[in-house]
Structure 1
């Protein structure tokens, strides 16, 4: 992969991340204070869920940077990408730091020369995907899995693989998030199309799979029993099972979990490079990664335990579906159109 070396072996993928925020900022001379921490404003665009931002990101970041104002813009990955695309065209990028789910988008930005090379002192501790020059680094690991309601299905009856979702017994009872809106769903579509061919999605369409706006809508309908099983992010299930004692369970597909090492990056257009670099340093530190785990995602470091209720990534990463990030970066429109025609029409 040009410009970026992605560790494609699933065993190398072990991670997690968390999102931060900021508000595009202060002058460089105001950002650094030799007698204290970074100052000024930092804007972060992120796809991290709003409740995780409020409960985990904001308090941890405020504690780490008491003299810096960090502001957030939150939206699904595709919503954030649409916003940034408009800002790039207007030559007025409004964010300093980017933390969205789809790793392939960072390759697109890197090809456009928009990312700042910054080798954080903590980059050496990141064991998942990262750019050798520091243009981006994975900061959280999200896993696309199959979930089911244990009040409605016994574990032995739940789908065990992605192929199981094509079984006629699940007709009209399965769902997935919309890849036009969800970055992780887009990655899942590209990975499964490469593994099984587009015929797989023809089979899902024939099985009357429902396409929901996002992971949150799916989790709610799993709880009501409208869906028997669904493609969804692991973090959604872990959060509900552990904080609200809901009966959702994770089935780690035998034909491979889709592991998504979501990155963090700084735009060259940042008005507060010192503040942005300090944020990257913190999120890649052990403290920052422990905060990521609080958000029910996996760490990108090897010295941080997985989120509560989840096995270590190494227990299933060797069988993970390999993802062609370069292809996802270059063929975004074609992949989405192929999905739309096959599944959504």
Structure 2
């Protein structure tokens, strides 16, 4: 009896695998017929280029057109094009999870669940199946150790309020960066808006992208970064630049960056195939190994010199709250920081 059950299970498994393989082959064929796809993304351009190159090597005959800018501008462009009846983007990827709640609510996303997301934790997937977190990073404090000895460097978010840092710090802007929108909301929930009112008194240098503070800190132009993408600080550090990263014990904002397919994607099959590709284990491992990013894939491993997420106190985002408070965050930032 047991042997019959075993044989039946094997037969069912074979049929399922054969069916899945045929389905995958049909998707590849349909994607090659379309020949290209367009990816609107906020990830660092070298990262996007590496992913696109790996995809094209695996699936010859399908071009990936990368359009990279800050999260808020990705959304702005997509919405403006949609309003004008222009259907250009196939895939949208930003670091502001609230964008995807907005787009989902407006019926602008295609429901699609890539196979690789089966084991992803809840914070990396939309329960309704419209978007999934391709990558994640942290927003951290960083400083230049050539200018500041470790004993004098800020260790907590509230250390940054000390007037001794006046004119010595850099911040990125929520009007450009989804990472910074998420960072601000996390600290507002922790300390209230008074924190940013007091921080602004220290005359911060303001840049656009959450990637920009790394260069400013490494150059010594401003020795302290009050926020910024941890993965880009990490990459800058690994290239031999003078940067030390601080993960405040009171909590570190976790930024999950979703990916979704546009409902009116001109190359929907190529977009589906690309989405399957970026959520496969090999692609997720590439993000960790090459770029220092975190992912939701349970089988991905990380460099030994990066902290494990489970060892940090994380301040995770709520996508619905990010969408609801987006305008408030940008307005308050301009009110306090004057830019």
TM-score (norm 2): 0.86
Return 5+ residue gaps in structure 1 as ranges: 1-30
Q: Is the 8 A contact 2:179 2:228 kept in 1?
A: no
1:35 Cα deviation from its structure 2 partner? 8.0
1:112 Cα deviation from its structure 2 partner? 0.5
1:119 Cα deviation from its structure 2 partner? 1.9
- Which 4+ runs in 1 deviate beyond 6 A? none
1:302 Cα deviation from its structure 2 partner? 1.6
Once residues 70 and 304 of structure 2 are traced to their aligned partners in structure 1, the CA distance between those partners, rounded to angstroms, is 24
- Which structure has the highest helix share of the two? 2
Once residues 113 and 149 of structure 1 are traced to their aligned partners in structure 2, the CA distance between those partners, rounded to angstroms, is 46
DSSP-derived class of the 2:140 partner:
strand
DSSP-derived class of the 2:31 partner:
coil
Aligned to 1:174: 169
> Which of 293, 296, 302 lines up with 1:297 in the alignment?
293
Aligned length: 311
Once residues 209 and 201 of structure 1 are traced to their aligned partners in structure 2, the CA distance between those partners, rounded to angstroms, is 11
Q: How does 1:281-292 map to 2 (within 5 A)?
A: 281-292=276-287
Aligned to 2:332: 338
1:37 Cα deviation from its structure 2 partner? 7.6
Q: Is the 8 A contact 1:77 1:183 kept in 2?
A: yes
C-alpha distance after superposition, 1:4-54 (max 9, x if no partner):
xxxxxxxxxxxxxxxxxxxxxxxxxxx974785831221110011122233
Aligned to 2:243: 248
Aligned to 1:273: 268
Aligned to 1:3: none
Aligned to 1:204: 199
> Which of 80, 83, 88 lines up with 2:77 in the alignment?
83
Q: How does 1:151-230 map to 2 (within 5 A)?
A: 151-230=146-225
DSSP-derived class of the 2:66 partner:
strand
> Which of 319, 322, 326 lines up with 1:328 in the alignment?
322
Name the CA shift for 1:53/1:323 in 2 (closer, same or farther; >3 Å). Answer: closer
Aligned to 2:63: 69
The alignment status of 1:43 with 2:30, answered yes or no, reads: no
TM-score (norm 1): 0.85
Once residues 195 and 172 of structure 1 are traced to their aligned partners in structure 2, the CA distance between those partners, rounded to angstroms, is 25
Once residues 157 and 37 of structure 1 are traced to their aligned partners in structure 2, the CA distance between those partners, rounded to angstroms, is 59
1:309 Cα deviation from its structure 2 partner? 3.2
Once residues 286 and 219 of structure 1 are traced to their aligned partners in structure 2, the CA distance between those partners, rounded to angstroms, is 29
Q: Is the 8 A contact 2:117 2:297 kept in 1?
A: no
